[in-house]
Amino acid sequence: MISRRDLLFGMARRLRESGGDKPVSGIGADIGAADAAYVRKDYGAARELYKDVLKENRAHKEARIRQGMCHYHLGEYVQAKDHLLMVFKQHPGDYLACLYLGLAYARRDQLEKCMEVWKGFVDRDHIAVMREINVHRALFETGDPLTGAEVAEAVEKALTHA
């Protein structure tokens, strides 16, 4: 009969031997450098560093979102949409993917898709951003003439004040 202690220590030993003692959070030196570049607003360098992270781990959600945000800040709205849509389809509740995917659609003057994405947007930490999105959704639904640029600029302004 094997004791619980031996069972647990045996499993821990096997995990360590197989490389399982690596951090599971996905936060490591590889993404740390990319995050540092993003914080410095060096979006071109950050985009390339996130690309390197994604080469090693294609399922790295945070790296894919940040890479999409870098594309957005660089004015590459098609690439931003592609990366963020990939995350949004798998994780529709992710507020950053939802927010920036809607912004990318708005910048491309695809307001129908933008408003559809933003239907599910919830971020209780940034009430001003939610309010701005809801105002523009209401204006869109009532038929007020809106341009994608003005919607994106209003939401970006709320983001900077949040």
- pLDDT tens digits for range 119-128: 988 888 889 9
* Full residue range of the structural domain in which residue 48 is found: 28-74
Encode the chain (162 residues) as per-residue pLDDT tens digits: 666 666 555 555 555 555 443 333 345 666 888 999 999 999 999 999 999 999 998 889 999 999 999 999 999 999 999 999 999 999 988 999 999 999 999 999 999 999 999 998 888 888 999 999 999 999 999 998 899 999 999 999 999 986
Return the C-alpha torsion angle 40, 42, 45, 48, nearest 10.
90
Contact 137, 120 (CB under 8 A): no
The values of phi and psi at residue 124, to 5°, are -70, -10
Whether residues 101 and 149 fall in one domain = yes
Instruction: Kindly report the pTM of this predicted structure.
Output: 0.80
Q: Is residue 150 situated within a structural domain?
A: yes
- Do 67 and 98 have their domain in common? no
Do 55 and 106 belong to one domain?
no
Q: Is residue 151 domain-shared with residue 106, that is, in the same domain?
A: yes
Residue 108 lies in a domain: yes
Distance CA 84, CA 121 (A): 14
> Taking the CB of residue 150, how many other CB atoms lie within 10 A of it?
12
**Count of domains for the chain:** 2
What's the CA gap between 53 and 59, in Å, rounded?
10
Whether residue 83 is contained in a domain is answered as no
- Shared-domain flag, residues 62 and 102: no
66 and 98 share one domain:
no
